[in-house]
Amino acid sequence: MVARLPSPELVASQKPLKKKPVLLSEIFESRGRVKILETLVPQELNISEIARRVKLNHNSVSYHLKTLTEAGILQEKTVQAPPLSRFK
């Protein structure tokens, strides 16, 4: 999964969220979410790279990404993972 900021065209075409709306003050009261947004402005990154750059653990980043995605601030893009190799 790669997180990225949605394009303006995509935001305009999205259906309204059916969940309880999230206040911007709730989004930006978390320093972790602000750091993630600052990191994602120039490029899209996978969750591991985001965690490394913002110095938060994987679970925290996952929680913040879910919150930001549900609020309509981020968009997820699923990409094919490289194949894994192991001993038989």
Q: 40 in a domain, yes or no?
A: yes
pLDDT of residue 12: 47
| Token pair belonging to 57 | 């653990």
Q: 14 in a domain, yes or no?
A: no
The total number of structural domains that make up the chain: 1
Q: How many CA atoms lie within 13 A of 51 on its CB side?
A: 12
Determine the average pLDDT of the residues in 34-56.
92
Q: 86 in a domain, yes or no?
A: no
Range of the structural domain that residue 61 is part of: 2-9+20-77
Distance of CA 61 to the CA centre of its chain: 8
Q: 73 in a domain, yes or no?
A: yes
Q: 58 in a domain, yes or no?
A: yes
Q: 32 in a domain, yes or no?
A: yes
Closest CA to 65 of 86, 44, 84, 82: 44
Give pLDDT tens digits for 49-84.
999 999 999 999 999 999 998 888 888 887 777 665
Q: How many CB atoms lie within 10 A of CB 65?
A: 21
Q: 61 in a domain, yes or no?
A: yes
